[in-house]
Chains A and B, each alone.
Chain A
Amino acid sequence: MTDNKSLNNPYLPDLATVQEVIDETANIRTLRVTLDDKEKMAAFNFRPGQVGQISVFGTGESTFVINSPPTRRDYLQFSVMRVGEITQRIHQLNAGDRIGLRAPLGNGFQYEDMKGRDILFIGGGIGMAPLRTLLLHMIDNRADYGDITAIYGARSPKDLCYTYEFEEWKTGGVNLVLTVDSEFPGWKERVGFVPTILSQEAPSPLNRIAIVCGPPIMIKFVLFGLKELGFEDRQIITTLEKRMKCGIGICGRCNVGSKYVCVDGPVFNYEQIKGMCQEL
């Protein structure tokens, strides 16, 4: 490709190509993309939990977590829920289509600090995407961690993502607890909202880290539930999403208090954000 690029322009995306598209649910689609610059793709390094800005030129740019783990680098994977203008356009992409990508951005999970500990993932809906990254990273380094339990909920069985790899998660050593909001014909797993299932499961906070992602309302109630179970603020990790523009800590849009979700986050522990819960 011809590129009249200046060096070091953090606003300038790399060109990338969609390799594969997977329909997860009626409104969530997964893209697997590679950078067109082969050397850059081979050298691409990131932490689980870091995000990328996907550009569909003519419509705009939006932020999504890289939900494939750094241990699997054939492609970078993004799961996108169709809700607005840009996600609508992303859903029209097919294999072979060209996009722009600015990645990796943000801080990612401090998985080094989680080594040797028990892990509790709590995900709701599309909130499972960032957790999947870390979950697979942990499966690929299974000996580094203790018990891994994942509570994953969605409205209905049809709204669960990554169903085709649940078996891989389980055989990889994850205690997977699935739940949907209400009874559905043929559904044999749990029924109830994620915070309810959390209190039923009641995992011990002892030597455990809880990693939470989901819609803001779920996060609020899960935080409350974890506190009741005795989790300390620093044992609770969440990854936030805000409307973003620059993604590099300048444009002033995605702040929660003095923290920018794009550069200081998206991963925070509860201690860092608890005075600012009104703005989640």
Chain B
Amino acid sequence: MAGKIFIALDRLRSTLDKLCSKIDLLAPASSQGNKTGPTAFMPYRSGVVPVLDRQTTLPLKKILLPQAETLLRYEYCKDPQDPLKAALSLDDRSEVRPTLVFGARPCDLKALSTFDRVFTSGPYKDPYYIERRKNTLFATLVCREADGACFCSSVGSGPADMEGSDFRITGIEGGFVVENLTEKAPDLFDSLGEAPTQDQQSEAGRIIEDVSQYRIGTLDLRGNEEAFRKRFEDNEYWQKMAAQCLSCGICTFVCPTCYCFTITDESDNLRGERLRSWDSCMFYHYTLEASGHNPRPTKLNRYRNRVGHKFSYIPEKYDGLLGCSGCGRCIRNCPVSIDIRQAAGQLKENVCDRQ
């Protein structure tokens, strides 16, 4: 685990150019090809401008849970002798290529710790997720700035949290120090740069120590399971919290821990694919049953479910782990300024008021 290099700022792109010849590389970039505009993790190739100075607009979840992916292919083959009979065959093979994600943020990885539990620790394991996870490495950038929507320290994480990361990237004067943290690909960066000097190493160490101390407010959103259960039937509370909601679903779309999906068949005559695609619990149709019955018919029910899933149901199932990484994307992107810290943060307040 010795691997440690320094990448000078002006050599960042040439270093990534070399790296992407060794492994499929994803890096934060703007769809407009420059440093402005919304960003996401995109395939890196020579000429792409990496945008490392801020959190990506879209989370990295699609790398492990594509927005739509094929679960299996099916094919009916008609019997020419008896057109009413058809043979049926299934094929679920898929190919996953080793990938490095360069420039993830600690909140992105915090969200993956939730994904890992959901997809790999239940009574059934998700083979598609497991295959991608096994083949994906993460080089995570120590966060040095927070905006008003960031709240990673309220969910038990922080700007230097490296849980789940394979490499740590620390931005220092004039460049980046990249350190290997795991056994998965310890020498991946070795030939790509010089070892950092003693001064560069101690500067990186100081920065990591500084940001590790950093707390954004005093709110702690952990341990709300009991409070949520008590609040569950307090419709007045949920009415108030969900009053502005437009049920647009952007909070789930940009959320790095929202994983709920749907499964549909797409046919082309006698063959087709079974796909899984992202879905959103904020939509009326999500729980609508064929009979017309809907167990979560109003936005009150749906918003309560979203808060409950993240701050009560997931922690209850997975030893207190939250279904929220504190990245703040839902807050930044909500068109009516709903702030999940309000609904989740006030669960414990005045529960007994109405008795």
Contacts and interface: CB of A to CB of B under 8 A. Distances in A.
A256 B232 CA distance: 12
B308 A248 contact: no
A245 B263 CA distance: 6
A113 interface: no
B122 A96 contact: no
A189 interface: no
Contacts of A251: 260-263, 276, 279
A246 B125 CA distance: 12
Nearest to A279: B295
A255 to B, nearest CB: 7
A241 B233 CA distance: 21
A1 interface: yes
Contact of B233 (A2, A249, A278): A278
- Interface range on chain A (Cβ under 8 Å from partner): 35 or more
Interface in B125-144: 125-128
Contact of A59 (B265, B287, B288, B308): B265
A11 B93 contact: no
Contact of A249 (B124, B267, B279): B124
A13 interface: yes
A252 B259 contact: yes
Interface string A111-136: 00000000000000000000000000
A26 interface: no
B91 interface: yes
Interface string B266-302: 0100001010100101000011111101011000010
Contacts of A84: 290
Interface in A50-95: 57-61, 83-87
A57 B88 contact: yes
A142 to B, nearest CB: 33
A121 B125 CA distance: 35
B118 interface: yes
Interface stretch (B71-79, B98-106, B330-338): B71-79
B233 A5 contact: no
Interface string B5-39: 00000000000000000000000000000000000
B121 to A, nearest CB: 10
A3 interface: yes
A15 B88 contact: yes
A263 to B, nearest CB: 6
Interface in A15-43: 15
Contacts of B215: none
B90 A258 contact: no
A201 to B, nearest CB: 27
Nearest to B262: A245
Given A58-B267, A96-B85, A250-B118, A13 B261 contact: no
A9 B233 contact: no
A221 to B, nearest CB: 15
A243 B289 CA distance: 6
B305 A263 contact: no
A3 B233 contact: no
A242 B89 contact: no
A171 interface: no
A245 to B, nearest CB: 5
A5 B76 CA distance: 16
Contacts of A275: 229, 232-233
A87 B125 contact: no
Interface stretch (B153-161, B168-176, B196-204, B310-318): B310-318
Interface residues of B, number: 56
A12 interface: yes
Contacts of A255: 305, 309, 313
A60 B263 contact: yes
A12 B317 CA distance: 25
A202 B325 CA distance: 52
Interface in A247-272: 248-253, 255-258, 263
Question: Which of B85, B290, B317 has the most chain A CB atoms closer than 10 A to its own CB?
Answer: B290
B34 to A, nearest CB: 37
B234 to A, nearest CB: 11
B96 interface: no
A280 B289 CA distance: 12
A230 interface: no
Given A1-B87, A5-B90, A258-B312, A83 B290 contact: yes
Contact of A258 (B74, B128, B313): B313
B119 interface: yes
Interface string A217-246: 000000000000000000000000111011
B264 interface: yes
Given A10-B125, A11-B72, A252 B261 contact: yes
Contact of A248 (B72, B124, B309, B316): B124
A8 interface: yes
Given A2-B89, A253-B287, A57 B122 contact: no
A100 interface: yes
B179 to A, nearest CB: 34
A164 B286 CA distance: 38
Contacts of B72: 11-12
B86 interface: yes
Given A5-B92, A216-B293, A249-B122, 4 more contacts: A58-B267, A96-B84, A245-B261, A278-B301
Interface of A: 1-6, 8-13, 15, 57-61, 83-87, 96, 98, 100, 215-216, 241-243, 245-246, 248-253, 255-258, 263, 275-276, 278-280
